[in-house]
Structure 1
Amino acid sequence: EGRGKLERIEVTARKTVESLQETPVAITSIGASELSEKGISVLTEVQQFSPNTTLQASRGTNSTLTAFIRGMGQQDPLWGYEPGVGIYVDDVYIARPQGAVLDLLDVQRIEVLRGPQGTLYGKNTIGGAVKYVTKEMTGDPQLNAEVTIGNYNRRDVKFTGQYPIMEDKVYLGFGYANLNRDGYGEFLVSALDGQDTENYNKDLWAARLTLEIHPTDDFFIRFGWDKTEDKSNAKGGYRLLPSLLTDAPSPDSVYDSYTSLPTNNKVELEGYSWMARYDVSDSLEVKYIGSHREGYSPTNIDFDNTQLDIFDVPAIYEDENDTHELQVNYVSQSFSLVSGLYYYDGESCGVFDAVLGVLGRTYGALGIFPEDTTGFSRETSGCNNSESWAAYSQLNYDINDKWSISLGARFTDEEKQATVNNGTVLYNLYPESGWIDGYVRPDDVNIPQVLGTDTDGDGILDAPAVESWSRFTPRVGVEYQYADNIMFFASYAQGFKSGTFNPRAETNEPGVAPEVVDSFELGMKSDLTDQFRMNITLFSYDHKDRQYIGIEGNSDDPTALQQRLRNAAETAAKGAEVEMTYVVNDALSFDLAYGYIDFEIKENNAIPPLIGLASTPENTLNLAANYLLQTNWGDFIFNANYYFRDDYLLFETSDLIKQDAYGMVNLSVNWESMEGNWYGGLHVKNLTDEEYLVGGYDFVTRNDDGTYGAGLGGDTTLIGYYGDPRTVQLTVGYRF
């Protein structure tokens, strides 16, 4: 029996094509074949294979992403807040978390870059970056049709392909996916009749068109369009405590819920991108990448998850942005240089109502509000717009056969404009006259602007607040090639998360400065034999000027949330990441990915104070095995993996909701015909049906005796959202 060998994996972590083992960056790369073999169909599943990584669907929708790498990210998806992990599709930045839970379509590989990427990728990559790379076309006519069925009445269809419009010159690529699944649970009681009661269902379609043009051997142009529409229901959370105000005990299933809001929800995304690449010579490449993206997400989030309007939050998110990047890459025998100019212009707006109907009626009965009050809402709306440009360069220089250095820097200049309208709406007709397309927003009430500028001196804010920040982010690295297949590296890198304004501001408060991360890494990339690969990274970082919403002062006003955004904390962490592959022979291989992080709070002025990291276990572990069986009926590939996540908090400032350590088992068997046209796969995910939290809300108080009391809205609103239960899926495909 032959002895298998390790494969060469190419990545673009440093914006040029390099071998994974020659790239001095902590990176996990998962190729198309591996994604298919494991039945990975959505971006969040990639977290299992990258140490110290959290990629999860957020609280209220299927398509909003919560991303943390090495404990750095952003949990709140409200407009104005910037992510801490950058998401890129073919080097185009996805600026907002809405819709960033990407369903994988025509993907070549997923790359997870861990640690600050402030030099080459810029702001909002303090934790790292996730790169979604689609396949370049070969020019041959191709069509791939794929059908997936599974439990919970899963029914997916995908079509991808390409066609040469002009031989060797112009190719058209296309992809379409229609993804449907019944809910894992249901809304047991709803205040509204005639609506869909499925909870955690899926109803999504996505399409992509790509036009590639090769005018000459040295010139390449690509145009892309993509659109996604997710009409899955708004997710209802699981009540961890019975309601004090109505008959809403904790349901039997963690996927069941109650609601007083419409269940309709939508995440709609559309984007255009274009890229031109010109090889001036064998050494010099010039590239231009541009994009325009728009997003629209009307959603209904029932915070309290009862059939009463205790704490309901209907909301609308809207955003659009344009990006332009001019890149120049030079490669010689002893050095390479990546440099570029980048421009970003984005608008992010929204409106939400914190509907506290029961509390409004209570205060009406007590005479605090007018007697005919049937509820009140705290409505917040506004925009947080950003315009920034950056210049960057990174030099990689070989001093001799053993030693090399990398020097990089980026200068970013950014201006933000923000408006916030925030005020109380009392109403006496709820919800019959208050619903506008499923959204509470009485149009006869003026909501005052509380954040901005007064341009004419009449005491009324009538223009946006404006602030600007600039930042120089360096990177210095040294690499030592100990042997042909063993490299050691050390680096210092800085990243920053953009300054911003408080999107929930109640007063005309100033903006907050950017968060800054200084990170040190020491690592080894090694193919110790032709069959054994071991990559190790040790890291430490200091995270300064962390942005937190705090409660400023106390008030008896039941409508005042009194939230103020400040640079309120400094934290630090150190840890390790180990990735190993052992190829036993041509048929059998094993993989291991382990992550460890140790967290420290250095300055703690957050209100309430920080107590830990959000959504970040101290230990993560993945063990995987892969076996190839060749037969006269085709090739069978069996794989299994065990994924472990240590216990973790859901919020950095609260231990009211936390997840105990758990392990998950996934099994797959794949088949490909001898001719290579037919293929199929049977995948069992979460075999032992583990229940694990991925989000929540904790508007509740805890008494000295350990019991719980009412929080905002007057009820025990302690809510959990859960990851997928055990699923079974069968995929069959044909390549024409």
Structure 2
Amino acid sequence: MHRSARRLALLASATALAPIAAAHAAPAPAEAAPAAPAAEADGGVKDDIVVTATRRETRLQQTPVAVSVIGNEFRAQQNVITARDLAGQIPGLYTAPSGITPLTNTFFIRGIGNSDPIFDPTVGTYIDDVYLARAINGMSDLTDVERVEVLRGPQGTLFGANSAGGAIRYVTRTPTERFDLRGDVGYGNYNTVNAHGYVAGSLVPGLLVGSVAIAHDQHDGYTWNPSLKTHVNNQQTTGGRIKLVLTPAAGLKVTLTADGTIDHSQTASYVATTYNASNAKLSGLGAITGGTLYSPTSFSSYQANVSYAGRYPVNTSRSGGVTARIDYDLDSHLALHSISALRAFSQNPVNYNNDGQARLPYNSAQPRAIDISDNAITYRQHQFTQELQLQGTWQAFDFTGGLYYLFENFASERLGYVTGLPQSDTALPAAPFDQIGRTRSFNYSAYLQGNVHVTPRLTFTAGGRYIIQRRTFAFRGVNYDLDGNPIDPTLYPQVLTGGAIPALGVTVSASQVNFTNANILNAKTWRAFTPKAGISWQAAPDVFLFANYAKGFDAGGFNNRALNLATALPYNPETVNTIEAGIKTEWLDHALRVNLTGFHNAYKNLQTAVSAYSPVSGTYVSTRGNAPSAHTEGFELETAAQPWRSLALTFNVTYLATRYDDYAAPAYGTVPAYTYTGNQFPFQPKWQYFASATWTVPAGLPGELKLGASGNFQTSFFSNQLNTPAYQIAAHGYANAFISYATADERWTFTLTGRNLTNSFFFTSLTPVGAAIKAGPYAGTLLLQGAQNPPRTVFLKAAYAF
């Protein structure tokens, strides 16, 4: 079948499935919940869930965007503390359940994302419409978050660059004149302690209201480390937010917000395993525990949730910001909004071992105990954003338009101890290499999107954003010895030409001689236009259909992971053209909701590691660049049912097919040939399922007793572009449950939550640790490492709301 025909067939079949699914479900009618201006999507079917996915307040079921909403009740019952706890529960969204630090979250939506937090995200993250330019030090705690909106598909028109995959929007609670006091405290295994508080109310009646939120989350290490004889992978974060809302005149509102988070959690410690090429299976061996790296005498057996990483994990991170928002009604038709924000973060220092192996002598030539792979990192960032937005409504026409400015200064220093495995007893380890980069970004944008309501039921949408993105890049590469001291070329002239430095016990690569990019490509400007066009139709009171075309844009940049001057190059923007069609329906007097969306994404210049021509060296090099083309397609099904008042059910399904259409390069010099054409994207399961049930028990108690269970499952995926069996993550799932009791006055709620009840462990990714061992009894063994999910946790919480 021709590709365009397959796309249309896919979208048509996705649209047709929803009424079929609804026809096969026949729960008894339920009493509709009362309307609420900010109701939650927490498992049951509730009317008038309000979202701001189009920068306007609209009902979820009448919003022509594929969007999921996570509200307070669901988060409380499932003990959702950070966005990472939502892994596997949102259609179309993939996020790893663990990361380098608790504040570092990387998201994929419909196969679009970026697993490397040092580069721009492809799924934009926003706190109250303020963009977070890096995945590093993102949102840590959801204490005062009213809801989380997950927007799927390109959001470039209204939300800007680097939202080609979609957007994660945290909408925090806005204080009112009403006194609001709530908080919770709880304790669980691994000495987990979570404490959250929120208070809001009037400070000057009729003029000023305010709120304060605080949060502290901690737990002991989840992972046992025999090398350090302690548990690792702990959490220790504390944060807060202050919000003031001033209403000095009719139609004028000024909101001031300040927030900050301190994170002293350990960096991630990875679990080691091995791969045996002879039988193409994980061999069951784990970390090297005896002998030397050249000739190991013993391996540990692989043990889930056990890391032999030989260096203590260190992390000191701070993040925060201030925001000033002005909302002014010019008249009954026009409203002006100004959003000014200054944000910053610092990770200094961060030290983590990413080989999962014990520290051992390298060989006879270098007998000291060292790591195979280790990183010492310092990141600093600050950004300023300013948005001026005008919204208007006249009879059958409404619009949202504005101007946007972003400045970001991102400084990174990554000292990598990637010594590699020796191939002889006289080899010396590679010298640690320091990548010191500074990226300054300037984004200027203008956007406009309008809706023409042809009839009360039929609407056309059109819009676009024009973006100018400019970046400057300063980069240095410096060689170090194994003690972390820069190698002075005047004392060791070998560093100028590369080679062994016996006095320091290291070798220096000739291509990694100390360098700076000051006199080469170090500034570039890109321009893009990202249009959107759509149609929506309220076919019946409870049947809403929509179809959209949108273009997404992920800004170009420079290679912050350059290994030599020839690879410190710019890469071009990534674009994606998306078509999607969906249907949102409610049935049986609002007792059943069925929403379904089908989509097709066509990429151009996909940003990834590629072989590219370097004008610096006049050769092809392996660097961050652009693969010519790729695509993803699939569908997302969301259902919620309330067959009777005491039972709420949810069932979600995601199908995602990914393919590199053109991703190949011939051999050139030392760069080997490769072809990924036809392969799947890494980190993208083809199927994801989520189901939950919540039962209000008729126990005859003065309050309300609820029991709930949920589970998610995803099929296997690969960790690399080659789709190598060694890096395949097996299909897996998790089971969770809760029991809660709310007092009759609804002020106290006690919840017992269990997550990962089967205590199952799976790798979230697998990467090699150097080349395969070539000597000794373990010749041919490939060392692998990866992060694993948290273990079974049980948590008891008491919450109060006044």
Residue 762 of structure 2: aligned partner: 692
More off after superposition, 410-419 vs 683-692:
683-692
Write the mapping of 1:290-369 to structure 2, written as runs, cut at 5 A: 290-297=340-347, 298-305=349-356, 306-307=358-359, 308-357=370-419, 365=426
Residue 637 of structure 1: aligned partner: 706
Please state how far the C-alpha of 1:640 moved relative to its aligned partner. 1.4
TM-superposition CA deviations, 1:149-187 (whole Å, max 9, x none):
111111111111114210132122111111111111232
Residue 146 of structure 2: aligned partner: 108
Over 3 Å counting, the alpha-carbon distance change for 1:538 and 1:392 in structure 2 is same
Give yes or no for contact 2:421–2:771 (8 Å, CA) kept in 1.
no
Please state how far the C-alpha of 1:400 moved relative to its aligned partner. 1.4
Task: Tell me if 1:227 matches 2:260.
Answer: yes
Task: Tell me if 1:390 matches 2:455.
Answer: no
2:681 partner letter: L
Give yes or no for contact 1:237–1:696 (8 Å, CA) kept in 2.
no
Please state how far the C-alpha of 1:37 moved relative to its aligned partner. 2.5
**Separation in 2, partners of 1:383, 1:52:** 34
Task: Tell me if 1:665 matches 2:724.
Answer: no
Task: Tell me if 1:422 matches 2:498.
Answer: no
2:659 to 580, 600, 603: 600
2:705 partner letter: F
1:199 partner letter: V
Over 3 Å counting, the alpha-carbon distance change for 1:251 and 1:411 in structure 2 is farther
TM-superposition CA deviations, 1:404-461 (whole Å, max 9, x none):
1000100000100012212433x3xx43xx3xxxxx767999997756343xxxxxx6
Please state how far the C-alpha of 1:545 moved relative to its aligned partner. 0.2
Over 3 Å counting, the alpha-carbon distance change for 1:72 and 1:328 in structure 2 is same
**Separation in 1, partners of 2:30, 2:613:** 69
Unaligned 5+ residue runs, structure 1? 191-195, 435-439, 455-460, 555-559
Write the mapping of 1:73-88 to structure 2, written as runs, cut at 5 A: 73-78=113-118, 81-88=119-126
Give yes or no for contact 1:361–1:375 (8 Å, CA) kept in 2.
no
2:574 partner letter: E
**Separation in 1, partners of 2:587, 2:515:** 62
Residue 619 of structure 1: aligned partner: 687
**Separation in 2, partners of 1:703, 1:570:** 36
Residue 263 of structure 1: aligned partner: 313
Unaligned 5+ residue runs, structure 2? 1-27, 33-44, 275-286, 360-369, 496-511, 666-672
Task: Tell me if 1:497 matches 2:545.
Answer: no
Please state how far the C-alpha of 1:635 moved relative to its aligned partner. 1.3
Residue 437 of structure 1: aligned partner: none
More off after superposition, 527-536 vs 242-251:
242-251
Give yes or no for contact 1:550–1:564 (8 Å, CA) kept in 2.
yes
Give yes or no for contact 1:284–1:328 (8 Å, CA) kept in 2.
yes
More off after superposition, 503-512 vs 109-118:
503-512
Equivalent position SS for 2:565: coil
**Separation in 2, partners of 1:703, 1:541:** 41
Over 3 Å counting, the alpha-carbon distance change for 1:273 and 1:695 in structure 2 is farther
Residue 675 of structure 1: aligned partner: 745
Equivalent position SS for 1:249: strand
Residue 287 of structure 1: aligned partner: 337
TM-superposition CA deviations, 1:611-630 (whole Å, max 9, x none):
32222110111111122236
**Separation in 2, partners of 1:158, 1:249:** 44
TM-score (norm 2): 0.81
Residue 465 of structure 1: aligned partner: 522
**Separation in 2, partners of 1:159, 1:475:** 41
**Separation in 2, partners of 1:709, 1:97:** 39
Please state how far the C-alpha of 1:259 moved relative to its aligned partner. 2.9
More off after superposition, 62-71 vs 303-312:
303-312
2:433 partner letter: R
Give yes or no for contact 1:239–1:250 (8 Å, CA) kept in 2.
no
TM-score (norm 1): 0.89
Give yes or no for contact 2:571–2:607 (8 Å, CA) kept in 1.
yes
Equivalent position SS for 1:259: coil
More off after superposition, 442-451 vs 2-11:
442-451
**Separation in 2, partners of 1:18, 1:358:** 55
**Separation in 2, partners of 1:716, 1:21:** 51
TM-superposition CA deviations, 1:695-732 (whole Å, max 9, x none):
3432444699xx9968xxxx944101011111111110
1:585 partner letter: W
1:158 partner letter: H
**Separation in 2, partners of 1:575, 1:356:** 39
Equivalent position SS for 2:178: coil
Residue 499 of structure 2: aligned partner: none
TM-superposition CA deviations, 1:621-656 (whole Å, max 9, x none):
111112223644311222211211111122334533
**Separation in 2, partners of 1:86, 1:178:** 26
Residue 727 of structure 1: aligned partner: 793
Over 3 Å counting, the alpha-carbon distance change for 1:443 and 1:386 in structure 2 is farther
2:70 partner letter: I
Write the mapping of 1:11-22 to structure 2, written as runs, cut at 5 A: 11-22=51-62
Residue 199 of structure 2: aligned partner: 161
**Separation in 2, partners of 1:589, 1:657:** 39
**Separation in 2, partners of 1:53, 1:709:** 40
Give yes or no for contact 2:420–2:771 (8 Å, CA) kept in 1.
no
Please state how far the C-alpha of 1:502 moved relative to its aligned partner. 1.1
Residue 520 of structure 1: aligned partner: 579
Residue 212 of structure 1: aligned partner: 245
Please state how far the C-alpha of 1:351 moved relative to its aligned partner. 0.9
**Separation in 1, partners of 2:156, 2:187:** 42
**Separation in 1, partners of 2:585, 2:683:** 31
Write the mapping of 1:60-79 to structure 2, written as runs, cut at 5 A: 60-78=100-118
Give yes or no for contact 1:169–1:213 (8 Å, CA) kept in 2.
yes
Residue 160 of structure 2: aligned partner: 122
1:537 to 590, 597, 600: 597
Residue 28 of structure 1: aligned partner: 68
Give yes or no for contact 2:612–2:625 (8 Å, CA) kept in 1.
no
**Separation in 1, partners of 2:757, 2:63:** 36
**Separation in 2, partners of 1:251, 1:323:** 51
2:529 partner letter: F
Residue 458 of structure 1: aligned partner: none
TM-superposition CA deviations, 1:111-170 (whole Å, max 9, x none):
000111111111111111000111111223333231111111111111111142101321
Q: Percent identity?
A: 26
Equivalent position SS for 1:21: helix
Give yes or no for contact 1:44–1:101 (8 Å, CA) kept in 2.
no
**Separation in 2, partners of 1:587, 1:116:** 38
1:28 partner letter: S
TM-superposition CA deviations, 1:224-278 (whole Å, max 9, x none):
1111111111211011124372577356543221233332212211111111101
Please state how far the C-alpha of 1:316 moved relative to its aligned partner. 1.2
Give yes or no for contact 1:199–1:255 (8 Å, CA) kept in 2.
no
2:177 to 123, 128, 139: 139
More off after superposition, 207-216 vs 17-26:
207-216
Write the mapping of 1:642-657 to structure 2, written as runs, cut at 5 A: 642-655=711-724, 656-657=726-727
Equivalent position SS for 1:693: coil
2:607 to 534, 547, 550: 547
Equivalent position SS for 2:170: strand
**Separation in 2, partners of 1:329, 1:43:** 30
Equivalent position SS for 1:120: helix
Please state how far the C-alpha of 1:64 moved relative to its aligned partner. 1.2
**Separation in 2, partners of 1:672, 1:237:** 40
Please state how far the C-alpha of 1:577 moved relative to its aligned partner. 0.7
1:17 partner letter: E
1:647 partner letter: S
Please state how far the C-alpha of 1:549 moved relative to its aligned partner. 2.1
**Separation in 1, partners of 2:598, 2:420:** 52
**Separation in 2, partners of 1:653, 1:619:** 20
